[in-house]
């Protein structure tokens, strides 16, 4: 879904004025990659580890509020098993990098 023509013209006009006023800044904005491309694999692993853990804790809290042993056990498994898998994968990848280097 694109912008209406008048809004697109306004944005183009702003871009053109920016390029005239500060060409180096405009060039930097045009070449800056999105944030997800700047993240290293290590940071992405850490983010995934934290997200999995938080999801597990939310499921545990939901299970407690519902008084459901099954949901509590599922949340505990996710909170424990998910980060464990992530750490083991990172450890194995590190071991492979050291042995091949």
User: Other C-beta atoms within 10 Å of 13: how many?
Assistant: 10
* The two three-digit tokens of residue 93, written as one number: 């990848």
Residues 1 and 41 occupy one common structural domain: no
32-83 residue pLDDT tens: 666 666 778 778 888 888 899 999 999 999 999 999 999 999 999 999 998 8
Angstrom distance (rounded) from CA 68 to CA 47: 29
pLDDT in tens, 18-29: 888 888 887 777
Q: Do 8 and 51 lie in a common domain?
A: no
| Block residue for tokens 């498994």 | 77
pLDDT given for residue 28 in this prediction: 77
Structure tokens at 97: 């990098």
Say if residue 18 is in the same domain as residue 65: no
pTM strictly above 0.75: no
How confident is the model at residue 92, as a pLDDT? 85
pLDDT at 1 over 60: no
Query: In terms of domains, do 51 and 92 share one?
Result: yes
């Amino acid at each position: 879904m694109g912008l209406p023509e008048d809004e697109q013209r306004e944005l183009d006009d702003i871009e053109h004025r920016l390029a005239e006023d500060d060409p180096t800044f405009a060039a930097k904005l045009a070449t800056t990659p999105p944030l997800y491309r700047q993240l290293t694999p290590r940071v992405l692993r850490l983010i995934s580890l934290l997200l999995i853990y938080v999801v597990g804790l939310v499921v545990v809290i939901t299970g407690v509020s519902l008084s459901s042993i099954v949901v509590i056990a599922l949340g505990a498994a996710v909170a424990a098993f998910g980060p464990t898998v992530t750490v083991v994968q990172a450890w194995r990848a590190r071991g492979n990098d050291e042995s091949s280097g």
